[in-house]
Amino acid sequence: MPDPIAAIDRFPRVRLAHTPTPIESLANLSKRIGGARLAVKRDDCTGLAFGGNKVRQLEFYLGEARARGADTILITGAVQSNFVRLAAAAARKCAMNCHVQLEERVSETGPAYRHSGNVLLDRLLGATLHSYPDGEDEAGADRRLGEIAGELAAAGRRPYVIPLSPGHPPLGALGYIDAARELIGQYGDLGHGFDRIVVASGSGNTHAGLLFGLRALGDATPVTGVCVRRDATRQSGRIGARCREIAELLGVENFVGDADVVLSDEHLAPGYGTLNPAVRNALRLAGETEGLLLDPVYTGRAMAAALTLARQHNGDESILMIHTGGTPALFAYGDDLIGHV
């Protein structure tokens, strides 16, 4: 049986991320909420275009794109998608063009949501913007992206599509198998591991890749995925399927059992890309105690869940939150935040 961790090194890769990312104790925040032991792994510090977790993933997508001789990257995501912004940046770093498709996932948005934050950065990066009207139709969004790719190919371009929907090889997850290897290596410097890891769970590549990597390395630390788009039941099936796809991609056994897939949807309502009091409170607490900026969609929810877990365990658990980035979206949510923080 191939070594599951060494197996990722056979895939083409473009080095984009500043790694290893640091692990920081959140001593002030821990004290504020009553002595819990909270820490954060700063994957918002991966460098490229404001950083974030997707930089690790894009190393493998751009690696394959380059190996195929592509000159244009295509990707679909929400209007304020961090993945879209970073794909555009990665494409430019690799001297490629980029077409991005922005999906309507959030209702009742104002001008800032549609023109500031990640959308502004998409434009500064020179991406060609397209729109897709249905934010809950992943297969349809991918299908439309394929049509755009076909049009580009007919015009002489060499397009490469980064898919959104399940059923495609999870190349992006390889970035978080590598992150698991990095994380365990950092435990030696810290002198300890953690009792629990908390990470936002959306498309699934970050959550599944990290979980698969930890289990492949023999690390049994519980990983709580915090739902940002789907309820826990639906997301659990998605993460389980993604782990099976990772095993198939690598040609190894699946190290992740059903009991390993832990999801929390306590802070999901009222839905993707919308704020609630717990998320606003997490944003405020992280900022005013640690100078740590979170985003309203992913890390705000992940921190809200980490704070809930810390309170439930009365500080008896050490909790590491993976900061997946996304801070440019703060500027798109200014109207929702002013008066609440």
Amino acid at 70: A
Cα–Cα nearest to 225, from 327, 168, 305, 280: 305
Choosing from 81, 116, 236, 264, which is the catalytic residue? 81
In angstroms, the CA 99 to CA 6 distance is 33
The strand order across the sheet containing 318-323 reads 23-25, 37-42, 318-323, 196-201, 223-227, 262-264
CB neighbour class for 68 (10 Å; exposed up to 12, middle 13-18, buried from 19): exposed
Cα 187 off chain centre by: 22
> 318 an active-site residue?
no
In angstroms, the CA 184 to CA 182 distance is 6
**Angle, CA of 113, 227 and 137, to the nearest 5°:** 60
Which residues 6+ apart lie within 8 Å of 272 measured at CB? 78, 105, 106, 135, 228, 229, 297
In angstroms, the CA 334 to CA 115 distance is 12
In angstroms, the CA 260 to CA 263 distance is 10
- Contact call for residues 11 and 174 (beta carbons, < 8 A): yes
Please measure the distance between the N-terminal and C-terminal CA atoms of the chain and give it in whole angstroms.
Answer: 53
Tokens matching residue 42: 């700063």
Please report which helix (H) or strand (E) contains residue 187, including its range: helix 173-190
**Which residues are known catalytic residues?**
81
